[in-house]
Amino acid sequence: MSQPTTTSASKITPDFDVLVIGAGISGIDAAYHLTKTMPDQRFAVLDSKPDFGGTWRTHTFPGIRSDSDLFTFGFKWKPWTSVPIATAEEILAYLEEAIDENELRPHIRFGHTVERAEWDSGASVWNVTVTHSEGTQTLSCRFLWMCSGYYRHSEGYQPEWPGMADFAGPIIHPQNWPDDLDHAGKRVIVIGSGATAATLIPALAKTASHVTMLQRSPTYFYPRPATDEFIETLRALDLPEEWEHEVLRRKFLHEQQIVARRSIEEPDALAADLIGAAQTYLGADYDVATHFTPTYRPWRQRLAVIPDGDLFVAIRSGKASVVTDTITRFTAEGLKLESGDRLEADIIVPATGLVLNALGDIAFTVDGAPVDISQSWTHRGVMLTGLPNLAMVFGYLRSSWTLRADLVSTYVCRLIAHMQERQATSVVPALRSEDIDMPARPWVDPENFNAGYILRGLDIMPKQGDRQPWVMTQDYFDDRETLPVADLEDGTLVYRRGEIRNAS
């Protein structure tokens, strides 16, 4: 094993060995792994919100729930014991248990917003500028672990249509849902047909006068029972929670693998199954060809699970309806459409998606020079060229986010331990000579996944290459085999060492 390059380094111990940015599901997972596998590491978790939970604190619209099963979305190390698709309230209760059972709360600092992070090569530290209720503070750390998610929490994506100011009622983006909005007895239009719309519409339809889902083009949905006989049978055996959780986790992973494989190998057959399920729920006379037959192959956009087909049930009951058309303008009464039709509404909800961001919109510098993250190359989807001692979590688009967060946690802890063995104070990915001319590919291949929020934000995201370790696979079944044994000495990670001593 080659020895690290020696550089000058700080003689002052930094405030922390590791700073984790974000106290959502990724940050909690990172904190757990640090606590259990690296008890010598001094770390803190910073979050801008007043409490833990990330996405599940940001989104408070009616019906908010997971759109993937909790046996794979939940932590590998904490059994999930309820129904597969869970509400935000249930998920937050689960996260709180995870925090308290593992004594993570003392490590978390809420109301701490990271403004910028500055790497000092001479000291081998990140200096992180944070604002909170008492002012501005700079915290230093050896390693920065970005668990801030993939979208901007302060605002969702809001297109501008002509005449929006003319509408007499409220226009509410789901990401900024007011606590005091009363939709009972009201006519509501939900613009969009993604996972948010599919969640929101059945919940609104329970008390609204009517809910209309207005979409430019159809989306695939995956109706499945809220529970199933296998789960009930397994629970009747009274197995230990850990066994039950692992069996159900493997069951749902197996199902995900089958659907993902079919989306590539037999997309027409999978599409026919999904469209056929919609027809079954909606009835033989419903115009599924217009409203629920997408033009793209399954899984090029997220395939939203709808428990017990609740979206379809609301439509068939008459409490909700679907219009496939394009908006010409807003009017005082509602919307005018390209077809010439008009839709009247008391409330309009643009469920139009997210704003992708790169590493929490934080300004990064290295030795005083600003870093353009879009010019960085990803290293296994975890680290970035040009950013020393930094790891990021970006989960899966077709599988549960937490599956990748857990793999990344194991990898980062292994990397930090390897640095300690090497007595290295910094590590940064760098292209080898044979990698210099490889083609630059986008963070996510649009031919593979073309959701609007991804396409809108690709220009700010890092690049990937055509070979490992410069690939973001988006494939859990590959990553679970390769990431735990990834070679930390393959020549793509540059280690350096400095003389670090405690302050006297």
The confidence band for 169, taking pLDDT boundaries of 50, 70 and 90, is very high
The answer to whether residue 142 sits within a structural domain is yes
End residue of a domain, out of 328, 350, 372: 350
Q: What is the three-state SS of 8-38? A: CCCCCCCCEEEEEECCCHHHHHHHHHHHHHC
Residues 234, 216, single domain; the answer is: yes
The confidence band for 206, taking pLDDT boundaries of 50, 70 and 90, is very high
Residues 202, 331, single domain; the answer is: yes
The answer to whether residue 317 sits within a structural domain is yes
Residues 336, 388, single domain; the answer is: no
Residues 338, 375, single domain; the answer is: no
The confidence band for 504, taking pLDDT boundaries of 50, 70 and 90, is very low
Residues 73, 92, single domain; the answer is: yes
Residues 372, 307, single domain; the answer is: no
Residues 341, 196, single domain; the answer is: yes
Please provide the average confidence, as pLDDT, over all residues in the chain.
Answer: 94
End residue of a domain, out of 299, 331, 350: 350
The answer to whether residue 94 sits within a structural domain is yes
Please determine, for residue 217, whether its predicted confidence score (pLDDT) is greater than 80: yes
- Residue 459 has phi, psi (to 5 degrees) of -70, -15
End residue of a domain, out of 326, 350, 374: 350
Please determine, for residue 8, whether its predicted confidence score (pLDDT) is greater than 70: no
The answer to whether residue 503 sits within a structural domain is no
Note the pLDDT of residue 450. Answer: 85
Please determine, for residue 5, whether its predicted confidence score (pLDDT) is greater than 90: no
Peptide bond into 469 cis (omega under 30): yes
Distance, in Å, from the CA atom of 261 to the CA atom of 247, rounded to the nearest integer, reads: 21
The answer to whether residue 386 sits within a structural domain is yes
Please determine, for residue 501, whether its predicted confidence score (pLDDT) is greater than 80: no
Question: Residue range 24-40: average pLDDT?
Answer: 97
The answer to whether residue 73 sits within a structural domain is yes
The answer to whether residue 460 sits within a structural domain is yes
- Residue 474 has phi, psi (to 5 degrees) of 55, 30
Residues 225, 136, single domain; the answer is: no
Residues 344, 362, single domain; the answer is: no
> In terms of DSSP bridges, do strands 221-224 and 210-215 run parallel, antiparallel, or are they unpaired?
unpaired
Name the strands in the sheet holding 334-337, side by side, starting at the edge strand that comes first in the sequence.
327-330, 334-337, 342-344
Residues 383, 404, single domain; the answer is: yes
Residue span of the structural domain in which 68 resides: 5-153+356-498
Residue 340's CATH number: 3.50.50.60
Question: Residue range 393-407: average pLDDT?
Answer: 94
Range with lowest mean pLDDT among 296-300, 375-379, 438-442 = 296-300
The confidence band for 488, taking pLDDT boundaries of 50, 70 and 90, is very high
Note the pLDDT of residue 12. Answer: 64
The answer to whether residue 504 sits within a structural domain is no
Residues 298, 342, single domain; the answer is: yes
Residues 363, 476, single domain; the answer is: yes
Into how many domains does the chain fold? 2
